[in-house]
Structure 1
Amino acid sequence: MTFTQGFAQFVFYVFAVAAVASALMVVFTRKPVKGVLFLVLTFIAMAGIWIFLQAEFLALILVVVYVGAVMTLFLFVVMMLNTEIDRSKKMLVRYLPIGLVVMLVLLIMMIYVVGSGQFGLAHYAAPGQLPAHYSNVSALGTTLYADYVLPFVTAGVLLLVAMIAAIALAFRGAHNRKIERVPDQLRVKKADRLRVVKMKSEKGE
């Protein structure tokens, strides 16, 4: 093993340990804000692993979209929410058995899927060395818009329909809405808005 391969393997294990440790801290931390920050660290570590897998575009999308936008929104929401720690503890004790059962089922499924019987060089050939001018962005675009163009367009149409349906369901109409019409305000005259009323003065008794 050369020095470059050893260093790359060391950096990979650093990212892997950071991803697993930060993911565990997301689950076990008691502070919601710290949980969000640990989740950001998990995304950054996973982006580093994706770079090692030569998926630079997905790594950049993960950092820009999730860390830069989604997790920032989550952080603001968590900071503005008034979380009740005592109520959360009661709910945790109440739903702990169901959570343990679900966790056990997911763990068994992950072991079965990610186990050595499903992956490895015995089942899949080792990836070849890519040329220097290779771009996974171009390869991803070719795959989406050439090989899977129909499912990609179908997914886009479904998302558009869902967005229009959400807007239609949330729209309540023009009830009790006050609209300012600037041209009408500019054309208004004093006689239209002001009326002088003459009243007799009242005399005291």
Structure 2
Amino acid sequence: MNILITGANRGIGAALLTAAQGRGDTAMGTVRGAGHDTLLPLDVRDPQSCAALAGRLSDTPIDLLVCNAGVYLERGMAADALTDPQLWADTFATNVTGVYLTTMAFLPHLRRASAPKLAIISSQMGSNTRAKGQSYIYRASKSAALNLGRNLAVDLRSEGIPVGIYHPGWVRTDMGTSAATIGTDESSTGLLQRFDALSMDTTGCFEMWNGDAMPF
């Protein structure tokens, strides 16, 4: 299976790439910027960068596209200190617009696969039901990513491309911090199982890494 994973230079993305390759998939990962030995250059915020990588992959079918690249720029900031519009713009550029640009750029590659799938890594912090305050920018961006995924599921249904949206768990990464409850191996293994189970019957799902349904 050909898999493309964005933001695979660290954390969950890197673990997903390793796990997928370890089980025999032809998995490719991306990183922002050039000069990496094993990862493909992709800035998900930049339409030209997306187009360049799509052109580089040419006619390669992609069975699974994982939109994982994300940022949490406001970590440690007080809720009343998030007044810089650029902070909002930069977060949404990666976490939301980046998902859209990546999907649109590689949609032709998905269409070339016999059973294509699209997976979007959101977060439980994007759940409106579980709103707990604070982290306004990140929460809003992950909620928007969830909404985007739900709408893509509707529009891609006629093409037989299921879309799943996932919470990877609270994972011990630079973003999740050392206080998190699970490791990257556990998260990535569970997520791959969720991707494998994704079908037209479950398209539009919002699930945890372990298969539990997440409230919208």
TM bracket, shorter-chain basis: under 0.3
Which structure has the highest helix share of the two?
1
TM-score by length of 2: 0.21
User: Higher RCO, 1 or 2 (CA under 8 Å, sep at least 6)?
Assistant: 2
> Larger C-alpha radius of gyration, 1 or 2?
1
